[in-house]
Structure 1
């Protein structure tokens, strides 16, 4: 999925640059090299949306409302899940199955857990880079196959 999106975004960038002379910021930063969910969602996948959700959802919930960090993280992923369900509905006009929502809720809960565990253990326990990259990629690929591909494949059928 990443390679498809990367090609589409790169071609779009070529079009915009050649037509308007403007460089469009690339939304991905080699997500297949992510060493954790925090690294994937915060620094590698869909950076423009990530920054938008951080400033419009995370910061107000965390700092203005004063909720714990994990609540703000999970809320961001719930909002993202709802947005993906809505986008999918508008594109294919299919009744929501909430699989997109589950994908984002699971990732939000796991990311919140990861952040809290990192904070609790600090540098006392760290995985090797190769192991953390493999675990992150495997988790992301598995949840993508379970929750994101089935509704898209049903649409094609």
Structure 2
């Protein structure tokens, strides 16, 4: 099922080139939101399919045929359902990398600060916030390097330098702010209100709004790579392209690469 979903949304993304993405960022926010949703759904389905294939290979080769679903987690736990930015980055997005980021960025900063401020109990929260932000900073640096390798130094320095650091830095500050606000409201707002359906819906809308608002800083650097190069694995992708081509309603939400 994940592979079929991946090909369906990849088909939609393949109709857009880099210029389409950059134009929509400025002039057509609604179509840009549709591309944003397609991109997140495509990545979710693709990563989960790859994870399931790795689980199958492990069960056959190392597990000698034994398999327990409770022992495995989705690589991306449907980030579109998140109700906070912390929920996205800590529990739903790229979960396979979480251990690496904690080990390489979070723990060294946290334990370094705690070692120097252990005599001040309140500094524990400062250490937690700083270590959390360090993870986002490290991720921003890694993505800056990816953009640099793809674009080359001259283009990177002129057009893209700093975009990934801005994106991940903003998310890092917002995640820390969420934790501060959560602690401030924890004892002053009843749990029944904090967990109510209305509040959960508002939190979800907040996550979508922030992700959509900050996406241009991330997407501008990667849009020139070209979605039109995304591969198909099943016939569903080609069939989806055919459907998009002949349907007038769907065509208006596709890019210029659709023939």
Q: Which category describes the TM-score, using the shorter chain as reference length?
A: 0.7 to 0.9
What is residue 113 of structure 1 aligned with on the other side?
Answer: 177
Distance 1:75 1:16, change over 3 A: closer
Contact 1:31/1:45 (<8 A) preserved: yes
1:96-154 Cα offsets, whole Å, 9 max, x none, are: 4221111000000111111112112215343711110111111112211x211212224
TM-score by length of 2: 0.53
Contact 2:48/2:76 (<8 A) preserved: no
Among 19, 43, 52, the residue aligned to 2:100: 52
What 5-or-longer segments of structure 1 have no aligned partner? none
What is residue 148 of structure 2 aligned with on the other side?
Answer: 89
What is residue 133 of structure 1 aligned with on the other side?
Answer: 204
Structure 1 CA distance, aligned partners of 2:80 and 2:49? 20
Segment drifting more, 120-129 vs 106-115: 120-129
Among 37, 54, 64, the residue aligned to 2:85: 37
Contact 1:81/1:104 (<8 A) preserved: yes
CA RMSD, 1 decimal: 2.5
Structure 1 CA distance, aligned partners of 2:178 and 2:57? 43
Contact 2:83/2:203 (<8 A) preserved: yes
What 5-or-longer segments of structure 2 have no aligned partner? 1-38, 62-66, 115-125, 227-259
TM-score by length of 1: 0.82
Contact 1:73/1:108 (<8 A) preserved: yes
How far 1:13 moved relative to its partner?
Answer: 4.1
- Greater length-normalized contact order (CA 8 Å, ≥ 6 residues apart): 2
What is residue 5 of structure 1 aligned with on the other side?
Answer: 43
Report the structure number with the largest CA radius of gyration: 2
